[in-house]
Chains A and B, each alone.
Chain A
Amino acid sequence: MKNNENHNYKIYLVAFAIFAFLITLLDLKYIGDDYVRRVLNLAAIYTIVSVSMNLVNGFTGLFSLGQAGFMAIGAYTVAILTVPIDKRAAIFYVIPQNTFLAGIELPFVVALLLGGLLAALVAILIGIPVLRLKSDYLAIATLGFSEIIRIVFTNAKTITNGALGIKSIPKMPTMWVFFGIMILSVTFIILLINSSYGRAFKAIREDDIAAEAMGINLFKHKVMSFAIGAFFAGIGGGLLATLLGTVDPKQFYFVATYNFLLIIVLGGMGSISGTVIASFIVTIGLEVLRFFDDPLTLFGYNIPIFRAGFRMVIFSALLMVLVLFFRNGIMGQKELSWGFIKNIFSKKNLHKKAKKGGTA
């Protein structure tokens, strides 16, 4: 067993080296174009947010739908603090910016961390009252908070410029900003769920009453999971702000949370590797399938179902199919590992052998 784990280690290192090589090639513009880079960066951001959502929903069993709100906090923190001071007046042209904030410009990393911490702080404040609630009440309360955050951002015009949003957020020159932070956050969450805290989270997911009887402080662990989830959602939001270069409240409508829900259901509630895979599948899929939105003409015949909006219909139908027929998603609660892949193949082989035996 120990040997096997070591073996895994090497495989991971090789996989990581190939991955790093590819990203470096992309980053140095040897392969791919701006569009590809942008989609991959978006996938990295989606991975961060989905993995954080899976920590809360899949590992701790709290059905939280507040991700869009926490992303908004991170995105706005980065937007407000990193826009160069000389460009502020052009952005806040209707109502001038709050004089205190107008004089502050911070480096990106500081603003990003601040955004994450602010999201976590808000999560703690929200969590203290709300986490006493059970499943569907928790869902609707977190969804409500996410909407309240968005409504506040729409109305606090001296800070956020209201519905107009904030433009000219400095962009990042390299993909490693996005992928580096993705690797750091995914690694952190993997380490977390394999620690004693992670075991406590899983215990709470399986049966909170039994977990409490075993001496786990339910409240502390729930708030912790919720706050860490919010922290990474905030980081994801901050990265989204710098990727797009603009933020406005409409981006963080709670429906945005549904995309992340689709990702964690597809990847498997309670599987980090599944979530990472699903994030890339969904983000890239959403782009690749754009042709569904364009009119399609085959052999001179115009196929009428292909028009704007068809892509999203397919995606929402996919979510329904997943929930109804493949509730475990790609990975269920398992993680991708060398042993896991070997297992799949050996199972198939066994199956084949059994079949052969049957016919002979």
Chain B
Amino acid sequence: MTFEIFMQQLANGISIGSLYALIAIGYTMVYGILRLINFAHGDIFMMAAYFMVFSMVNFGLPWYVSMILVVIATILLGVLIEKAAYKPLRSAPRMSIMISAIGVSFLLENLATYLFTGVPKGFPDIPILTKAISFGNVSLSVVTVVTPVITIVLLYVVLFITNKTKIGMAMRAAAKDFETARLMGININRVISTTFVIGSGLAAIGAVLWGSKYPSVYPLVGVMPGLKCFIAAVLGGIGNTTGAVIGGFILGMAEIMLVSFLPSLTGYRDAIAFIILIIVLLVKPTGLLGEKVTDKV
């Protein structure tokens, strides 16, 4: 393997990793507060990609306008899902809430198949993102270079919100102890809505970047990224935002490096994430940056 190819693969790994990281933040925040795997998160991501397709292809809006519309629409969808499917089950057993999450995911997938048909749609070309630039002999698209930068910037925004603002403090309190936070007068519903706003917004941005890299949108497009990003969140220590980003990077790198160093194992690419998940759960269930939690009896 030449140096150029290695650099190219490295850049790809970092880029995919940062996409995983963006979506993983949404998982980790929801899990931190609600202790719920939001199975529908990957499908929110899928819907965001469809919104982009419609806004740019069907309504012919320029990409920057579409981008804003897509983020808003996705946030609305995320909050709507929370209000309709999770809020009524606040005091229900854990299994019901998980089934509800699976149900939403199933519903969104089927709804997308019904509304947009199962035939893949082409993701609109955003010239500013898909242009190729070259560093020496290494040629990369702008989106590959820009994605990690966007991810790091957004990570800092999220960290700022959670650490420096009032709602962020409420979020941390709710993540620590839901019931006590409620007793202390924190408006828990507002906290949860904010979490879904942030998570869905990041998923929307992730979807646009993803679409520029893999320009094909179909109803099940969110399933694999969704599961992998959850795994990234677990790997980094669920509930920890920085951990989610690190987990995303590790997962992206692991996948790309497997494919480039052992091409015969390319078919097993999707299995890597699950193998990592199982190893993490067995060796260090709290993840890399997670705190140790003791079960209350």
Contacts and interface: CB of A to CB of B under 8 A. Distances in A.
Chains A and B form a bound pair: yes
Interface of A: 57, 61, 63, 129-130, 132-133, 135-137, 139-141, 143-145, 147-148, 151-152, 154-155, 209, 255, 258, 261, 265, 269, 307-310, 312-313, 315-317, 319-320, 323-324, 327
Interface stretch (B18-26, B96-104, B153-161, B197-205): B96-104
A254 to B, nearest CB: 9
Contacts of A155: 267-268
Nearest to B265: A155
Given A136-B94, A324-B100, 9 more contacts: A129-B278, A135-B95, A136-B98, A141-B277, A151-B268, A261-B102, A265-B99, A319-B102, A324-B89
Interface in B189-245: 220, 223, 227, 230-231, 234
Contacts, number: 114
A133 B273 CA distance: 18
B37 interface: yes
Residues of B in contact with A, size category? 35 or more
B288 interface: no
Contacts of B107: 313, 316-317, 319-320
Chain A binding surface, main DSSP class: helix
A316 B106 contact: yes
Given A136-B36, A136-B98, A312 B114 contact: yes
A301 B220 CA distance: 33
B99 A151 contact: no
A135 B277 contact: no
Nearest to B112: A309
A255 B105 CA distance: 10
B100 A320 contact: yes
Nearest to B118: A309
Given A137-B281, A140-B230, A151-B270, A312 B88 contact: no
A61 B96 CA distance: 12
B85 A307 contact: no
Interface of B: 35-37, 85, 88-89, 92, 94-96, 98-100, 102-104, 106-107, 109-111, 113-114, 117-118, 220, 223, 227, 230-231, 234, 267-268, 270-271, 273-275, 277-278, 281-282, 285, 297
B47 to A, nearest CB: 14
7 contacts: A141-B278, A141-B281, A147-B270, A147-B274, A309-B117, A310-B114, A319-B107
Contacts of A327: 92, 96
B103 A319 contact: yes
A323 B100 contact: yes
Q: Which of B94, B98, B114, B282 has the most CB of A within 10 A?
A: B114
A30 B231 CA distance: 54
A148 B271 CA distance: 5
B99 A129 contact: no
A139 B88 CA distance: 22
A308 B117 CA distance: 8
A310 B96 CA distance: 25
A248 to B, nearest CB: 15
B31 to A, nearest CB: 8
Contacts of B267: 151, 154-155
A63 B39 CA distance: 14
A148 B269 CA distance: 10
A155 B102 CA distance: 28
Given A129-B278, A147-B271, A320 B285 contact: no
Contact of A309 (B85, B114, B281, B282): B114
A144 B110 CA distance: 22
Nearest to A325: B88
A158 to B, nearest CB: 13
